[in-house]
Amino acid sequence: MTYFRAIDPFPLEASDHNRLHEFYARLGQGTLSTTRCAGCGTTAWPPRAFCPGCGDDRFTWVDLSGEGHVHAFTVQVTGLPTGFDGPRVFAIVKVDGHRVFSILIATDPACVTLGQRVKLVPLRVADDAKGQPRWLPAFAPA
């Protein structure tokens, strides 16, 4: 089967497609990171190739703790994207002051609560067209 981008729901993480490829490389190593503007020092989530505050396009990478708490969540039972089993818990996880939209794994949806402590568990998804692994941030109960 040949690779067909139109049916691939995951981001292109390789450096030849994405200036923020470092985020995915670090995520694959178990580290949640984001960008810090070299101009004004602001950190942003999601990581950005330019600062939304001052417009500078120079940035450095900063690691986040990888632990946080559930700020909000919803449980989706039907209508999930291809490749995702249900029910799926989508959550906004507060990590070091940033609100990270993610999924919760390894948990019973009926047991999720607001304020619940969670930790980063990177989720490996379908490999890219060149067979390189791809990752999405996911969280599990701490």
Residue spans per domain, the chain: 13-141
Q: Which residue has the higher pLDDT, 18 or 32?
A: 32
Pairing of strands 88-95, 98-104: antiparallel
pTM comes to 0.86
The pLDDT tens digits for 43-79 are 999 999 999 899 999 999 999 999 999 999 999 999 8
Q: Where are the beta strands (DSSP E) in the chain?
A: 33-37, 43-44, 59-63, 67-76, 88-95, 98-104, 117-120, 123-125, 134-136, 138-141
Q: Give pLDDT, residue 131.
A: 82
Q: Mean pLDDT across the stretch 109-130?
A: 92
Q: Could you tell me what percent of the chain has a pLDDT over 90?
A: 68
